[in-house]
Amino acid sequence: MGILSSEAIILRTYPLRETDKLVVAYTRKYGKVRGVARGSRRIRSRFSGRLEPLSWVELVAFEGRNQELVSIDKVELLKGYGLAMQDYQAYLRSSYLLELLMETVPEHEANDSLFRLLLHVLPLLGDSHDSRLASVYFQIWHLKLAGLLPSLAACSRCGAALGRSTGAWRRLEVLGLFCQECRQGAGHRVLGEVLELADQVVKKSLPDLARGKIASKTVSALNAVAEEMAQTGFERKFDSLSLLRQESGNR
Ligand SMILES: [Zn+2]
């Protein structure tokens, strides 16, 4: 029987039997794992307050006969980021990040870069002001780490340079960006400053970006591009996005 010991981010829990919870966690060493936390639904449980989604924890678990489900033995809370209930938009952005991790990250596949990315964005994700920037940052880097981020600096058809002075066009359900000549009629305009922000996202740290004064409409516009790219790149429709769009009310 193997022992698993790793830092982890709690992604989701489900009630299981009368007193237990099924826990889905993204661990640093083993990737996404599912486990049972026995007794965790009891009021006085040793897991109490440590299994909230987005908690950063140190987790110890045992592999049993059922390879798919580990038995969670110990959970130490390193930091609880929690879902930001006080701000509905920040809450929806956190839910979207959790949905992305649940839906697009394969089980049992460790990825230290993705784990570090999570630790990088979580502190700003619950902040009502910075959550939109944190969400853009996570999506662009998640696409990049998955090898799905198209060039944001060159037309994906002819290779012409795209940047602040040119802007670009995008088409629904197509990953790349296009220059004016290659846009082929229909297409959504991506303004130069949005491309410039995308370029900064891949070059700067999130706290550095958050210190700069970026117009909120530029952040929203890049979020819209990143959300489309995530749905096209991962070939999924994300439920949290429709709620987020209703709430943002501007697209
Ligand atoms: Zn072109």
Q: Quick check: helix, strand or coil at residue 94?
A: helix
Checking DSSP bridges between strand 20-27 and strand 55-63, what pairing results, if any? unpaired
Q: Is 80 exposed, middle or buried (0-12, 13-18, 19+ CB in 10 A)?
A: middle
pLDDT one-digit tens code per residue, 103-112 = 999 999 999 9
Q: Quick check: helix, strand or coil at residue 145?
A: helix
Q: 84, 76, 77, 81: which is closest to 122 by C-alpha? A: 81
Tell me, in angstroms, the distance from the centre of ligand 1 to residue 137's CA: 26
Which of 38-47, 77-86, 192-201, 208-217 bottoms out in mean pLDDT, i.e. has the lowest? Answer: 77-86
Tell me, in angstroms, the distance from the centre of ligand 1 to residue 164's CA: 16
Tell me, in angstroms, the distance from the centre of ligand 1 to residue 157's CA: 5
Ion ligand 1: residues, CB < 5 A: 155, 157-158, 160, 179, 182
Q: State the chain's mean pLDDT as an integer.
A: 92
Domains of the chain: 3-80 (2.40.50.140), 88-248 (1.20.1440.120)
What is the rounded CA–CA span in Å between residue 85 and residue 89?
Answer: 9
pLDDT one-digit tens code per residue, 173-220 = 889 999 999 988 778 999 999 999 999 999 999 999 999 989 999 999
Residue 58, token pair as written in the block = 């140190």
Residues 6+ apart with CB under 8 A from 213: none
Q: What percent of the chain is modeled with pLDDT above 70?
A: 97
Which of 49-53, 183-187, 222-226 bottoms out in mean pLDDT, i.e. has the lowest? Answer: 183-187
Can you give the pLDDT at residue 251? 42
Of the pLDDT bands very low, low, confident and very high (cuts 50, 70, 90), residue 17 is confident
122 in Cβ contact with 54 (< 8 Å): yes
Of the pLDDT bands very low, low, confident and very high (cuts 50, 70, 90), residue 1 is low
Tell me, in angstroms, the distance from the centre of ligand 1 to residue 183's CA: 7
33 in Cβ contact with 61 (< 8 Å): yes
Tell me, in angstroms, the distance from the centre of ligand 1 to residue 207's CA: 34
67 pLDDT more than 90: no
Checking DSSP bridges between strand 31-37 and strand 69-80, what pairing results, if any? parallel
What is the rounded CA–CA span in Å between residue 89 and residue 127?
Answer: 10
